[in-house]
Amino acid sequence: ALALAPAVWANDSLNQGLSHFKSGKYAEAAAEFQTLVDGSPSYDYGYFMLGLSLLKMNKFKEAEENIVKAIELNGDKFEYHYQIANTYVKMGKNSKVVSTLNNAEALAPNAQYKAALYKLRGFASFRDQDWEAAETDLARAGNDAEVLSRLAKAQFKLGDTKAATVSFAVVVKASPKD
């Protein structure tokens, strides 16, 4: 029974932390995940969830440290890389968003994750006014109005007014009151 006690305790902390996180109680979630990683310092998912909790609390530097720790422990999880890139978005570090997602692209397990990667990386390139990179990624990111609007602007900046007009027309049709 004593041998199982740490595993039961860790499972309880994980479940409590996840419950708090899902309820929007990020400080309580962070406390549970901190306790979890203090007791299990090689548990990558604990650091990841601690980082996400801190990110929700706008504690960007602490979020970055914990998500990076999760990646150091298990660098094969696309979600970890995507969320550290999302943290860099919040910190205004667009070049880090791009480099992080460049390194994580091969880890994206399906088309949905790849589209999310292209959107986030495309938006970062757009904010840095790297129009070619923005156009490349946004063209592969999907067809929502926000993506197509930025795609059209990037195409316009590159001098491709025909493509920009087509993209803007799709946006206007999808959101005629915007």
Q: Distance (Å, rounded) from C-alpha 91 to C-alpha 127?
A: 13
User: Of 30-34, 94-98, 166-170, where does mean pLDDT reach its minimum?
Assistant: 166-170
Alpha-carbon torsion (172, 173, 176, 178), positive or negative: negative
Q: Distance (Å, rounded) from C-alpha 80 to C-alpha 22?
A: 18
Q: Distance (Å, rounded) from C-alpha 121 to C-alpha 154?
A: 14
Secondary structure letter of residue 110 according to DSSP: S
Quickly tell me which residue has 């041998």 as its tokens. 3
Quickly tell me which residue has 């990020």 as its tokens. 26
What's the chain's average pLDDT? 92
Q: What are phi and psi of 141, to 5 degrees?
A: -85, -10
Count of residues making up the chain: 178
Residue 89 belongs to what H/E stretch? helix 78-91
The answer to whether the CB of 48 falls within 8 A of the CB of 67 is: yes
Q: End-to-end distance of the chain based on CA atoms, in angstroms? A: 62
pLDDT computed for residue 174 by the predictor: 80
| pLDDT tens-digit readout, 102-131 | 999 999 999 999 999 999 999 999 999 999
pLDDT computed for residue 17 by the predictor: 93
Q: How confident is the model at residue 175 (pLDDT cuts 50, 70, 90)?
A: confident
| pLDDT tens-digit readout, 26-85 | 999 999 999 999 999 999 999 999 999 999 999 999 999 999 999 999 999 999 999 999
pLDDT computed for residue 73 by the predictor: 97
pLDDT computed for residue 5 by the predictor: 34
Q: Is the pLDDT of residue 11 over 80?
A: no
pLDDT computed for residue 28 by the predictor: 97
| pLDDT tens-digit readout, 63-77 | 999 999 999 999 999
